[in-house]
Every structure is written in structure tokens, then in C-alpha cells.
Amino acid sequence: MNPPDLAAPDLAALPRLPRDAEGPVFAEPWQAQAFALTLRLHETGAFTWPEWAAALSAQLAGDPADDGARYYDHWVAALEGLVAGRRLAAPDELSARKAAWRDAYLRTPHGKPVEL
């Protein structure tokens, strides 16, 4: 792990980040949660901001046809890659958690919060 980084991350270093004049914008609550989790992991030293920007850039480069609609899908994939690569969580733990969330989502009535 890197030493904790309390400096504000350079959002301009992130390619194609959906934003407006006030900063990042999110179409869904899970996107904001993924963003916040990434910032928190960076702050605690799980990875440097340049490492994060490189991981996200690599994910985005793998899907040149994306018009931005899948930006946060790529964001989560990059985050999962860093988390697994840093051994913060094992790939099978990530798969189990994703399956649990998917099951919870499918059994949750429309308009209700998803609960595990």
C-alpha cells in the first residue's frame, strides 16, 4: 500500500469523466457510490491517483466504441482490477459479492432500496 494521500485527486487526469461546471455527474446512485469508494481507497493509500488514471484509461481504451454510456461500468471494472491486483479482495470474493447484489436487486420491488 502507498502512504495515505490526503491531497485532492486530479479529476482532470481522468479521461472522459462525465462532468458539468460543478464537477462529476452521475446518472445513477451506484455511479456516485463507485466514485466515492474509489476516492476513499485512494485516500487510504490503496493506489496512487496516477495508478488509478492509468487503470481507468486502459479500461476505456479496450472499448473504443463506447459513447460514454458505459463509462461507470468501465470505472467499476478498473476498480475491481486494482482491488484484486493489490489483493485487497480476492477475485472470488468480488464475484460472490456481485452475485449477492444481483440476487438482491432481482428480488427487490421496483422503487425500493436494494438490501443484502
Tens of pLDDT, residue by residue over 12-48, are 667 677 877 887 889 888 899 999 999 999 999 999 9
**Tens digit of each residue's pLDDT (9 = 90 or more) over 74-107:** 999 999 999 999 999 888 888 898 899 889 889 9
Boundaries of domain holding 37? 32-107
Q: What is the pLDDT of residues 44-76, one digit of tens each?
A: 999 999 999 999 999 999 999 988 889 999 999
- 115 vs 51: CA distance, rounded Å: 32
Residue 5 forms part of a structural domain: no
Establish if 27 belongs to a structural domain. no
- The pTM for the full model equals 0.75
Using the 8-state DSSP alphabet, how is residue 58 labeled? H
Distance CA 74, CA 64 (A): 11
Alpha carbon distance 15, 41 (integer Å): 19
Q: Which residues contact 115 (CB under 8 A, 6 or more apart)?
A: 104, 108
- When divided into structural domains, the chain yields a total of 1
